[in-house]
Structure 1
Amino acid sequence: MTKVLFVCMGNICRSPTAEGIFRAMIQEANLEHLVRIDSAGTHAYHVGEAPDPRAQAAARKHSVDLSMLRARQITKEDFRDFDLILAMDWENLAALQHVAPKQYAHKLMLMMRFATDNEEATVPDPYYGGADGFERVISYVSDACHGLVDVVRKRALQYAA
């Protein structure tokens, strides 16, 4: 099983969007028995809150429901338990690197490294902007999630062999 954790600052915009989109893609590919998916924030600003209504609205336009998700802050156990811990931007990657035990540092990376259509290194934070920022997040995250589905599929084939 591959365990993937998406991380942004407050866990109400980018990382729950990534969680929802990736979960939908994994279900569509009939790979849900091979993947554990979650999201978290580097900060505790919004713990217990549902995703931002604008993130939910953007996701709904793409048939993805985020309403059941609740923000949480990353824990020390997450570094041990997840195989891939994917930060949305450099700031959150640095925050993760600062708190991650050294033996788990190899699990930390930027989400956009899995993208194939977009050359941007990070997923921009849409929180202080308008609806177009949330649509941009959907575009970037969807691109990277397609690449992640391929990784999960390849890992499953390797372990099956």
Structure 2
Amino acid sequence: MVNILFVCLGNICRSPMAEAILRQKVSASGLEEQIHIESAGTGHWHVGNPPHEGTLDILAENDIDSSGMKARQVIEDDLEQFDIVVAMDAENLGHLHTLKKPDQEVEITRLLDYAEDADENDVPDPFFTGNFDEVYAMIDSACNTLLEEVKEEWL
């Protein structure tokens, strides 16, 4: 089983969107018994809350299930439990590296490292910008490449 964790700031916009998108891609590939996906936030403000309305709307528009999703905060143990931890931006990436112990073998990456045509390094936060459509397109594209790499390198 390959365990993947997406991380953003509050776990209500970008990381749950990525979780839902990749879950659908994994299911469509018949790999749900081999790949486990979750999301978390570096901050605690939204713990226990469902994803942002904008995230829920864009997922629904694209027929992607978001049921049962609740925000949670990333913890040190996540870096033991997950094989790949994917940050949405440089700030989240830096936070994850401060949690990582030297002996941990977890792969910590940034989502847009998987985006072949990305003009940016960071997925912008639609909580502040309102650009859920743009963020959805970025995440969807990067998740295609991420899934292909997981299939090639981990399965």
The TM-score with structure 2 as length reference comes to 0.94
Whether the 8 Å contact between 2:82 and 2:106 is mirrored in structure 1 is: no
Report the equivalent of 1:94.
94
Q: 2:152 aligns with which of 139, 154, 160?
A: 154
Q: Which amino acid aligns with 1:126?
A: P
**Structure 1 residues 100 and 65, CA, compared in 2 at 3 Å: closer, same or farther?**
same
More helix by share: 1
Cα contact 1:56–1:67 (8 A) shared by 2: no
Distance 1:120 1:30, change over 3 A: same
Corresponding residue of 1:8: 8
| Conserved 8 A contact 1:7-1:40 | yes
Corresponding residue for residue 83 of structure 2: 83
Letter in 1 for 2:13: C
2:152 is equivalent to residue 143 of structure 1: no
Moved over 4 A (4+): none
Asked if 2 retains the 8 angstrom alpha-carbon contact of 1:13 and 1:126, the reply is yes
**Could you tell me which residue of structure 1 aligns to residue 115 of structure 2?**
115
Q: Look up the equivalent residue of 1:50 and give its one-letter code.
A: P
**Cα deviation 1:72-115 (Å, max 9, x = unaligned):** 00111110111110000001111111122122375211011111
**1:134 Cα deviation after fit:** 0.7
Q: 1:2-24 CA distances to partner (integer Å, 9 max, x unpaired)?
A: 11000001000000000000000
Query: Do the aligned residues in 2 keep the contact of 1:117 with 1:143 (CA within 8 Å)?
Result: no
For the pair 1:30 / 2:33, whether they are aligned, the reply is: no
Is the counterpart of residue 104 in structure 1 residue 104 in structure 2?
yes
Structure 2 match to 1:126: 126
2:53 aligned partner: 53
Give the equivalent residue in structure 1 for 2:66: 66
Once residues 10 and 75 of structure 1 are traced to their aligned partners in structure 2, the CA distance between those partners, rounded to angstroms, is 13
Q: Give the unaligned 5+ runs of structure 2.
A: none
Q: CA RMSD in A?
A: 1.4
Q: What amino acid maps onto 1:136 in structure 2?
A: E
Query: In the alignment, is the contact (CA less than 8 A) between 2:84 and 2:109 conserved in 1?
Result: yes
CA contact (8 A) 2:79 2:106 kept: no
- Provide the identity percentage: 37
| Conserved 8 A contact 2:80-2:106 | no
Shift of 1:129: 2.5
For 1:107 and 1:149, the matched residues in 2 are separated by 15
When normalised by structure 1's length, the TM-score is 0.90
